[in-house]
Every structure is written in structure tokens, then in C-alpha cells.
């Protein structure tokens, strides 16, 4: 069962034979990947090879696209999130998401932004516990010291990097076991990127992280394991190779992986 204690540990996410389509266009073909608890898994590969689609399948966001369909299973600690009777809200609570572009609620205060998810999950909390939660989540997201004196200011008043950390804090408030991040630094400057990377490394102790990144240096810095996606000549995306990050960068088994991580294409 999911622990409600602060800093519940992550869950293992297991994708099995996942295929995906938009209308009749197949974008992923039987992708299997285990994303172990409390590790950072980076999904790497050129644009258009299905990484973001795969990420969205992991918390049932793919199905929001009218023409989208999929096959396969996604298990969180052995439980299929697509099984009959599994509630969408429960999958989203356990498996949070941080997007490429920071998307705080601009008119809501920083405080309200962090606690926004509690209403959706039906979590009732007293004022003092809420205050503690806001401080805890902003601290984990590396933002508390910068904003503790202006929690009533609107979320839109922050810089881009701060907004992204606010979105991370908001995700953490509902105590997810997995955090998905779709290129969370691509819109940010180098300093903000470094701060987010530090946050990712710190969070990995208590939540499983899956990150899509185009930045090979970033993948090397933040991840424990990598999965290299590729879609060749109009075929659907597949995982060419996956394994510990160090091995994938220093001694990849497939020449296509070597070409990609060394910057020869993509």
C-alpha cells in the first residue's frame, strides 16, 4: 500500500509490450521497460521516436488524445493502471507529471498552487498540516528559501525556473510514488537547469523519476539508467538498448546508441 508518511518511497513502474497509435499511425511497437523504485530513468533518442508518447502512457495521459489508442500493460508495483476498475484519478495521484513548459496556475498564490492537487484527490487537511506540507514540498523542490516570504503572491510572478520548481512542489504535494518529467529544463536557462537537476537527484531517494531529455549531458548527470528510443525510416518507435547510464555512455552495445550519445545524429 501507498505510505502517507512524508517521503514515501517510490514504486517500480513496469511497462510491458506497450504499443501506441494515433488513428492508424503506429508510433510505438511493443516497448517493454522496467523503471525501478527510487532511481532516475532517462528516456533518450531523437525527436519523433515516441519518448513523450511513452511517458504519457505511463500515467494515462495518452488516452486524452481523441484518436489515440494503445496496447500492453503498465504496472505500478505489480498493479496494472489500465485494468478494468482502476480509476484514472488514482493513477494520476500515484504517478505525477511535470511538463516541458512550466504551467503553474498564474492567478493562484504560490501556497494555493502547491495545495491545488489536494482538492482533486479529496484530501482534507487542517491549516497547520497544510502549512507544513507547503513548506515540505517547496523545500524538496529547492524553492522554499526563495519564496517563503511571498507565499501569497501569484504563481505567475515567478521566473521560469522558479515556476518549474513550483510545478514540481505541486506534483509532490499529493505524495506520488512516481514523477514523470517531459523535458523539464528545455525552456530554462543553465542556472535554473542546474537547480532542477539537483532537485531531481535529491528527490530520487523517495520517488521514482522518469525523465525525457534531449540533452545527453543532462541524462549522464541525473539518471541511473537510460533507455534509447529510435524510430527508423517510418517505422514505429522501439527501445534499441537500455541499461545503466554509465555503461550506455561508455560502452553501448549497439552502434546506433554510440552514434546518438556521441552526437553523430539526432
In a domain, 159, yes or no: no
In a domain, 230, yes or no: yes
Radius of gyration (Cα) for the chain, nearest Å? 18
Task: Tally the domains of the chain.
Answer: 1
Q: Are 45 and 228 in contact (CB under 8 A)?
A: yes
Residue environment code for 233-245, b if the CB has 16+ CB neighbours within 10 A, otherwise e: eeebbbbbbbeeb
* Residue 156 per-residue DSSP state: G
Look at residue 202 in the predicted model and tell me its pLDDT: 93
Q: Domain residues for 232?
A: 13-103+176-261
For residues 82-87, average pLDDT: 91
In a domain, 122, yes or no: no
Task: Show the cell assigned to 152.
Answer: 501569497
In a domain, 112, yes or no: no
Question: Domain with 196 in it: what CATH number?
Answer: 3.40.50.300
**Phi/psi zone of residue 235: left (φ > 0), alpha (ψ -120 to 50 degrees), beta?**
beta
In a domain, 248, yes or no: yes
For residue 179, which phi and psi values (nearest 5 degrees)? -125, 120
In a domain, 145, yes or no: no
17-75 pLDDT, tens digit per residue, is 999 999 999 999 999 999 999 899 999 999 999 999 999 999 999 988 999 999 999 99
In a domain, 138, yes or no: no
pLDDT at 4 exceeding the cut of 70: no
Q: Facing residues of 210 across strands? A: 41, 180
Confidence band (pLDDT; 50, 70, 90) for 9? confident
- List alpha helices for 141-185, DSSP H: 144-147, 160-172
128 CB burial (10 A radius; 0-12, 13-18, 19+): exposed
Look at residue 8 in the predicted model and tell me its pLDDT: 52
pLDDT at 122 exceeding the cut of 90: no
For residue 249, which phi and psi values (nearest 5 degrees)? -90, -35
Enter the pTM of the model: 0.93
In a domain, 148, yes or no: no
157-202 pLDDT, tens digit per residue, is 999 999 999 999 999 999 999 999 999 999 899 999 999 999 999 9
For residue 110, which phi and psi values (nearest 5 degrees)? -55, -45
Kind of pairing between the strands at 40-44 and 13-22: unpaired
The kind and range of the H/E element at 260 are: helix 255-261
Look at residue 6 in the predicted model and tell me its pLDDT: 41
Residue 197 half-sphere exposure, CB side, CA atoms within 13 Å?
Answer: 20
Amino acid at each position: 500500500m501507498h505510505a502517507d508518511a512524508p517521503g514515501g518511497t517510490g514504486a517500480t513502474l513496469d511497462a510491458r509490450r506497450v504499443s501506441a497509435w494515433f488513428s492508424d499511425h503506429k508510433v510505438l511497437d511493443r516497448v517493454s521497460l522496467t523503471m525501478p523504485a527510487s532511481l532516475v530513468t532517462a528516456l533518450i533518442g531523437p525527436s519523433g521516436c515516441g519518448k513523450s508518447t511513452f511517458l504519457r502512457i505511463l500515467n494515462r495521459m495518452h488516452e486524452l488524445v481523441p484518436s489515440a489508442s494503445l496496447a500492453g500493460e503498465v504496472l505500478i508495483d505489480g498493479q496494472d493502471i489500465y485494468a478494468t476498475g482502476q480509476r484514472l484519478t488514482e493513477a494520476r495521484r500515484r504517478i505525477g507529471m511535470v511538463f516541458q513548459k512550466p504551467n503553474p496556475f498564474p492567478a493562484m498564490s504560490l501556497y494555493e498552487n502547491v495545495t491545488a492537487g489536494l482538492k482533486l484527490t479529496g484530501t482534507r487537511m487542517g491549516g497547520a498540516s497544510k502549512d507544513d506540507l507547503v513548506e515540505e514540498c517547496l523545500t524538496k523542490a529547492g524553492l522554499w528559501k526563495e519564496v517563503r516570504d511571498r507565499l501569497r503572491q501569484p504563481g505567475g510572478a515567478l521566473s521560469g525556473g522558479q515556476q518549474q520548481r513550483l510545478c514540481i512542489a505541486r506534483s509532490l504535494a499529493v505524495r506520488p510514488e512516481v514523477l514523470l518529467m517531459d523535458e523539464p529544463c528545455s525552456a530554462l536557462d543553465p542556472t535554473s537547469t542546474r537547480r532542477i537537476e539537483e532537485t531531481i537527484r535529491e528527490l530520487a531517494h523517495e520517488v521514482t523519476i522518469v525523465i525525457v531529455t534531449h540533452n545527453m549531458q543532462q541524462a549522464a548527470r541525473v539518471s541511473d539508467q537510460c533507455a534509447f528510443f529510435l524510430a527508423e525510416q517510418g517505422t514505429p518507435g522501439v527501445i534499441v538498448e537500455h541499461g545503466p547510464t554509465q555503461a550506455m555512455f561508455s560502452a553501448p552495445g549497439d552502434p546506433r546508441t554510440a552514434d546518438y550519445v556521441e552526437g553523430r545524429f539526432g
